[in-house]
């Protein structure tokens, strides 16, 4: 939407994400009022994010494919984050990327929303993976750190003794009874 006119200038059709650092480089635009096809909007030109969409000063903010070198580079990668397989560093398939969360200040991908495979989806339908867990990004998969295996719960239970089930009388109870008798 244009801040000057309050009207719709274009619609975002795709988000260009740089696979090298998972940042949004530009938004690919679609619409009748565009001078060039494809046209892009860079995140630095976004004035405000709202529930209506991206608000910009005017259509002068839109750039063509050859206007900005980094946009051309990332566009030529043909990288699509949605639909990529997600595996852990032990090569276990965790699912596919069905969405992601972008920080509105830095325009970097902060979390991946991963849809679980059918057999694993009975326990949990999706996973949220933080960007700090991402180890490698390619055109066909995203590799993440596997979760460390926690100690079994049985070990912790063995070390715990319930004082109410113990056969001996607690010292505090003895003092309490001797004071009042």
Helices (H), 41-152: 69-77
CA dihedral of 155, 159, 164, 168, whole degrees rounded to 10: 140
List domains and CATH numbers for the chain. 11-77 (no CATH), 85-144 (2.30.30.240)
Cα-based torsion angle of the residue sequence 24, 28, 34, 36 in order, rounded to the nearest 10 degrees: 100
Q: 5: alpha, beta or left, given left = phi > 0 and alpha = psi -120 to 50?
A: alpha
Give the C-alpha separation, 114 to 128, whole Å. 6
Work out the average pLDDT over 107-114: 94
60 vs 148: CA distance, rounded Å: 50
CB 99 within 8 A of CB 154: no
In this predicted structure, what is the pLDDT of residue 120? Answer: 58
What per-residue confidence (pLDDT) applies to 15?
94
Calpha distance 22→100 (Å, rounded): 11
* pLDDT tens digits for range 115-127: 988 765 566 678 8
Residue 166 reports pLDDT greater than 80: no
Question: What's the CA gap between 31 and 37, in Å, rounded?
Answer: 9
> Residue 111: pLDDT above 50?
yes
Average pLDDT for the chain = 81
pTM, 2 dp = 0.72
Percent of the chain past pLDDT 70, that is, above it, reads 77
Q: Is 107 left (phi over 0), alpha (psi -120 to 50) or beta?
A: left
Q: Looking at per-residue confidence, does 159 or 73 come out higher?
A: 73
């Amino acid at each position: 939407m244009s801040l000057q006119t309050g009207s719709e200038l274009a619609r975002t059709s795709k988000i260009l994400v740089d696979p090298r650092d998972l940042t949004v480089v530009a938004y690919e635009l679609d619409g009748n009022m565009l001078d060039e096809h494809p046209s892009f909007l860079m995140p630095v030109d976004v004035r405000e994010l709202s529930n209506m969409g991206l608000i910009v000063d005017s259509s002068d903010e839109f750039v063509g494919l050859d206007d900005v070198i980094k946009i051309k580079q990332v566009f030529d990668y043909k990288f699509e984050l949605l639909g990529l397989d997600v595996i852990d560093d032990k090569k276990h398939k965790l699912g596919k990327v069905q969405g992601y969360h972008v920080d509105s200040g830095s325009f970097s991908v902060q979390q991946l929303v991963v849809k679980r495979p059918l057999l694993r989806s009975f326990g949990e339908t999706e996973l949220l993976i933080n960007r700090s867990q991402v180890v490698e990004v390619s055109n066909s998969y995203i590799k993440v750190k596997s979760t460390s295996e926690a100690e079994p719960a049985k070990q912790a239970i063995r070390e715990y003794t319930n004082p109410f089930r113990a056969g001996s009388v607690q010292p505090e109870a003895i003092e309490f009874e001797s004071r009042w008798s």
